[in-house]
Amino acid sequence: MQLSQLTSAGRSPSLPLTISLADAAGPADLQLLSLLRVLPGQRYVGAGVWRGRPVLAKLLVGSKAARHFQRELDGVRLLAAQGMTTPLLLADGLRDGEGGWLLFEFLEGAQSLGDAWQQVESLPVLADEQSAVLAEALEAIARLHGKGLWQEDLHLDNLLRHGGRLYLIDGAGIRAENAGQPLSRQKVLENLGVFFAQLPKALEPFTEELLVYYLLANSEHALPLEALQKQIDKVRAWRLKDYLLKVGRECTLFSVKRGAFGLRAIRREEEPAMLPVLAQADALLDQGHLYKTGGAASVGKVDVAGRALVIKRYNIKGFAHWLKRFWRPSRAWHSWREGNRLAFLGIATPKPLALLETRFFWLRSRAYLVTEYLPGPDIIERFAPYVDSGAAPEAELQALEQLFARLIAERISHGDFKGHNLFWQDDRWALIDLDSMCQHGSLGSFAPAYARDRARFMRNWPEGSALYQVIDQRLPKDLSHAS
């Protein structure tokens, strides 16, 4: 096929593909065997064979192909010119009306630092194995900055381990201030802000400690922690806003279909499993174990191909109720967005898997939310043996303190903080039932919402009980310290 035909190939073209390309030695076919990244109709990145050699192919098509090709080529050349370790560019080309291509040496068995981090992410915060991954990344970033370059799209997946060396990839994000001269302090702070903003919030107290790994490789500038933290906070806010836009549109992470007769959103990797679940959601609820039925919502645990899921159906109780609901986003949509917000922020909640709003000429009716099932006990059950003694396990009390601290830091109120909405799972307290959750824009609006949440939470136990007294002493009352 011709390269331009990829413009209409969609997200999952049939593989293998034979694509006609040419370099200075003449025409040759690229055998594309697998796809690693796809932006439909614009960018296809995958492994293949070119002139008998394994290659990583970046194929750029569509109206923006020439611009994207040039950015990638410029970045690759900047890395090579400054002696940075990056995969060798074997061939490239750009044709009007066709598109552009860049073919790189294929690093067989390479591991991204993103994958390396996933292997150690569940370990205690800043365990030696975690420090090793982050140190490796920060040293590479420091060397890049020392050469006057930075990576706009700076994340762990753009750093590859191979053969005892660390390779920088994705030339499209490489920028230069004054190539060959150390990056200015402001650019360093901005770029490090991008890096640290993507790390788990639990690592924030250790930013200064981690920064040492950078300074050991590049001590050109003093880097004030306060100035760096401002950059981190700025990037975090932008990333969250961007992510919440993605949960409602077609993109790499989510499959979203909108129309006059429905809205369907599914996590991309879950699409094959979730489509049949949404198609038979009512029947699955009828057959499942119901926790709540009738009224405004029906909630049940269902089994699908040996996998336990929770389906929550938001009902329309009658015409008057429909008049209140049809014109505004459903509670299923709100829970979908807020569940993804918590997951993005690293606050435990059942993973939201799929959403369906049924509509009639855009007017909303029933809606469905599918999430993972949490088998753990809720806090009422978990703390029941300690109501009189107050001797709840210290690890669980500390986890409760940590949850409240995170909610305060993010200015998040739950809206219905009864004990049945807090589950013990994987050594953390996980929040469910997010219909009324809200992230507040100011302390002024958050403080009264937090006070209501705390008061509702404390009503889970008798005020005179020992457990009530213990929890009451450990949960913050005064929010004057909150920023």
Minimum mean pLDDT range among 268-272, 292-296, 398-402: 292-296
Q: What is the pLDDT of residue 12?
A: 87
Residue 362 has pLDDT above 70, yes or no: no
Is 254-372 in CATH node 3.30.200?
Answer: yes
List residues bridging with 168 in a β-sheet: 159
Residue 261 near residue 358 (C-beta atoms within 8 A): yes
Alpha-carbon torsion angle 273, 279, 283, 288, nearest 10: 30
Contact present, 175 and 165 (Cβ < 8 Å): no
Helix axes of 225-246 and 207-217: crossing angle, nearest 10 degrees: 110
The answer to whether the 111-226 and 379-474 domains have the same CATH topology is yes
Please answer whether residues 58 and 42 qualify as being in contact, where contact means their C-beta atoms are separated by less than 8 angstroms.
no
Which of 2-16, 103-117, 361-375 is the least confident region?
361-375
How is residue 158 written in tokens? 């753009």
The rounded distance, in Å, linking the Cα atoms of 18 and 48 is 10
**pLDDT tens-digit map of 290-316:** 877 767 788 999 999 999 999 999 886
- Which range, of 83-87, 95-99, 208-212, 380-384, averages the lowest pLDDT? 95-99
User: What is the CATH architecture of 111-226?
Assistant: Orthogonal Bundle (1.10)
Which among 45, 212, 218 has a CA at the least distance from the CA of 143? 218
Burial class (CB in 10 A: 0-12, 13-18, 19+), 449: middle
Question: Which percentage of the chain shows pLDDT scores above 70?
Answer: 95
* Average pLDDT of the residues of the chain: 92
CB of 130 closer than 8 Å to CB of 123: yes
Residue 324 pLDDT exceeds 80: no
Measured CA to CA in angstroms, residue 335 lies from 107, 142, 146, 310, 351 at distances of: 42, 41, 45, 13, 11
Instruction: Look at phi and psi of residue 181 and say left if phi exceeds 0, alpha if psi is from -120 to 50, else beta.
Output: beta
Q: Tell me how far apart the alpha carbons of residues 216 and 140 are, in angstroms, rounded to a whole number.
A: 11
Report the CATH fold assignment for 3-105: Phosphorylase Kinase; domain 1 (3.30.200)
pTM, two decimal places: 0.87
Kindly give the pairing relationship between strand 111-112 and strand 159-162.
Answer: antiparallel
For the segment(s) 379-474, the CATH number from 1.10.1740, 1.10.510, 3.40.50, 1.10.287 is: 1.10.510
Residue 437: pLDDT above 50? yes
Q: What is the mean pLDDT of residues 83-109?
A: 94
Q: Are 447 and 466 in contact (CB under 8 A)?
A: no
Cite the DSSP H helix spans in 218-297: 225-246, 271-279, 281-287
382 or 360, which is more confident = 382
Long-range contacts of 54-58 (CB under 8 A, 24+ apart): 54/106, 54/108, 55/30, 55/90, 55/103, 55/104, 55/105, 55/106, 56/87, 56/103, 56/104, 56/105, 56/106, 56/107, 57/30, 57/32, 57/101, 57/102, 57/103, 57/104, 58/101, 58/102, 58/103, 58/104
**For the chain, domain boundaries:** 3-105, 111-226, 254-372, 379-474
